[in-house]
Structure 1
Amino acid sequence: MFILIFAIFDFGRYAITMQSLRMLADASARANMLSCYSPAVLASNSPSSCTGDYLTAAQKQAIAPFLYNGGLSPTVTTTAGTSVLTVTASQSGFTMLFPVWGTSLNAPSVSTQIPF
């Protein structure tokens, strides 16, 4: 019975982390679009210079406070492809507490794509 309770708690913690990463990736993509997309960028058809991080650490913590528990901090990266910018939010220090999951759910990561 206790094993089942701990497994549910651990999986719930993982689900909250994934949802928080989704919110952070979406907010970072929105900040990227508002800060960087301009008619000049769209006319040249290359927003490759828009790969910066446009959210401050305080804004990230306000968007997804759960990700900062335990001294962890998420990372947000933006990469430019041929017709899309990809914003990836990841939590590299996250580990599952219950060993039955193995390492497959450790270090979750979520991506959002912005077409141009």
Structure 2
Amino acid sequence: MRKLDQRGIGAMEFCLVAAPLFILMFAIFDLGRYAITMQSLRTLANAGARTWMINDCFVNSVMSRTSPTCSGDPLPSTAEKKAVAPMLFAGGLSPTLNTTTGGSALTVTASEPSFSMLMPIWGTSLNNPSASTTIPF
């Protein structure tokens, strides 16, 4: 019997294993980036809610048992937002912080409108993440 030529088998096996390995590796990096962004958005929303609670618009309203009239961005400057959540500004991104008053709660929402996942396997379901903090009164 003749011995079969085994040259190139290592390269072929690497090609078969490399594609799923790299897809898995980049998917893990992408999900880690998303998790860091979500945690930073939660931190930013909590800092905004804390600012409204300390601010006169919320404290005075609660003391007088009226609905607070807080609106807008509790942390208006970029420097204040960077101090709270610096990871949100990586790659030139800029988070937004909004406040809404409804019913018996004040809601502070932090969002990253220009964030998008790098891997196309996720679709658009994880793009534009946001996190909210609600303060009852």
TM-score bracket, normalised by the shorter chain, equals over 0.9
**Partners of 2:74 and 2:97 within 8 A in 1:** no
C-alpha displacement of 1:44: 4.1
Residue 82 of structure 1 and its aligned partner are, at CA, apart by: 1.0
Q: How far is the alpha carbon of 1:51 from its aligned partner? A: 1.6
2:95 pairs with 74, 88, 92, which one?
74
For 1:15, the aligned partner's letter is A
C-alpha displacement at 1:53, in angstroms? 2.1
CA RMSD of aligned residues (A): 1.0
- Name the CA distance, whole Å, in 1 between partners of 2:130 and 2:54: 23
Q: Which runs of 5+ in 1 are unaligned?
A: none
Within 2, Cα distance between the matches of 1:82 and 1:98?
40
Long gaps (5+) in structure 2 = 1-20
Larger radius of gyration: 2
Kindly state the Cα deviation for residue 54 of structure 1 after the two structures are TM-superposed.
Answer: 2.8
The aligned counterpart of 1:92 is 113
Could you tell me which amino acid in structure 1 is paired with residue 133 of structure 2?
T
8 Å contact kept, 1:32–1:53: no
2:28 corresponds in structure 1 to: 8
Q: Note the C-alpha offset of 1:101.
A: 0.3
| TM-score (norm. length: structure 2) | 0.80
Report deviation, 1:59: 1.1
Task: Kindly provide the amino acid, as one letter, of the partner of residue 68 in structure 1.
Answer: F
> Number of residue pairs matched?
114
Q: What letter corresponds to residue 82 of structure 2 in structure 1?
A: Q
Q: Distance in 2 between matches of 1:15 and 1:31?
A: 24
Residues 79, 86 of structure 1: 8 Å contact kept: yes
Amino acid at match of 1:80: T
Aligned-partner SS, 1:106: coil
Counterpart Cα distance in 2 of 1:14 and 1:75: 17
**Contact 1:75/1:91 (CA < 8 Å) preserved in 2?**
yes
Specify which structure has the bigger relative contact order, considering alpha-carbon pairs within 8 angstroms and separated by 6 or more residues: 1
Secondary structure of 1:37's counterpart equals helix
